[in-house]
Homo-oligomer: A and B are copies of this chain.
Amino acid sequence: MRSSAKEALLSNAATLFSRSGYNAVSLRDVAKAAGVNVGSLTYHFGSKANLLREIYTRHTLPMNARRLELLGEARRIKDPDERLMAILRAYVVPAFVSSSGGDGGGAEFTRMRAVLSAEGNPDAQAIIADAFDETSRTFIEALGECVPGAPLESLVWRSQFLLGGLYYALINPERVTRLSNGAVDGDDREAAVRHLVEATYASFRSLSGTSPQRSEPLTVSTPPIQENQT
């Protein structure tokens, strides 16, 4: 193992950032969590902003690659409703999966994105923007093909709500548990994915002006979530 120390730093920092945001986590917090001196951080990363940047580049590419791979599979589905469902899963699942290691995105990284996007930190803002827009646009296009005639405006807003729902499910899962008086487990990520995909499916489906609505409520078939390494 070459630079496993650097890996450990990246991993620890990502965890802390995803939990408390960028501003509230000091380099000393990161160092302490990794059992290492502060100086190591400046040595390896130069600056705090650059540490964040490295976390990003570590996760962004694999995650989007996985998404696009699943999107490719989904696009081959003929039936527009099933395709719609598959496309939504392709977008959501890689963001929710609890990945082991720095590979395919994962819930922690997505949570970090969510928190950072809310903080509006200039350092973070710049790093985030361009990394995901292209992928999102590709998905919006694919979604649009499932609901012919739907106006772009509706597609974009709904994709915004999808991401918002995704983020908030990861940021505030306790709320689900609390509101249901413990009857629903907010930390159940499989359930979160299932419901998010179902709800978004219905919201996109309703945009289809031409095809008639299906009468029986369509429930998602739920194979256990798991990522295959690409």
Chain A residues engaging chain B, CB cutoff 8 angstroms: 19-21, 23-24, 114-115, 117-121, 129, 133, 136-137, 140, 152-154, 156-169, 171-172, 175-176, 178-180, 183-184, 186, 191-192, 195-196, 198-203, 205-209, 212-215, 217-218
Of the A-B pairs whose beta carbons lie under 8 Å apart in the complex, a sample of 15, sorted by A's number, is A20-B119, A115-B120, A117-B118, A140-B179, A153-B183, A156-B179, A157-B192, A161-B165, A161-B195, A164-B168, A168-B168, A198-B206, A199-B206, A202-B205, A212-B215
In Å, the complex CA distance between A220 and B190 comes to 32
Chain B residues with CB below 8 A from A172, complex form: 117, 160
Q: Contact between A156 and B176 (Cβ–Cβ < 8 Å)?
A: yes
Q: Contact between A183 and B152 (Cβ–Cβ < 8 Å)?
A: yes
In Å, the complex CA distance between A15 and B184 comes to 35
Report the minimum CB–CB distance from A83 to chain B (whole Å). Answer: 17
Chain B residues with CB below 8 A from A191, complex form: 153, 157
Report the minimum CB–CB distance from A149 to chain B (whole Å). Answer: 10
Also in contact, A179 and B136, with CB within 8 A (given A161-B161, A165-B160): yes
Report the minimum CB–CB distance from A43 to chain B (whole Å). Answer: 26
Report the minimum CB–CB distance from A3 to chain B (whole Å). Answer: 30
Chain B residues with CB below 8 A from A115, complex form: 118-120
Copies of this chain held together in the complex:
2
In Å, the complex CA distance between A186 and B140 comes to 16
Chain B residues with CB below 8 A from A19, complex form: 120
Q: Contact between A167 and B169 (Cβ–Cβ < 8 Å)?
A: no
In Å, the complex CA distance between A65 and B20 comes to 32
In Å, the complex CA distance between A205 and B214 comes to 12
In Å, the complex CA distance between A196 and B200 comes to 12
Q: Contact between A171 and B118 (Cβ–Cβ < 8 Å)?
A: yes
Q: Contact between A171 and B24 (Cβ–Cβ < 8 Å)?
A: no
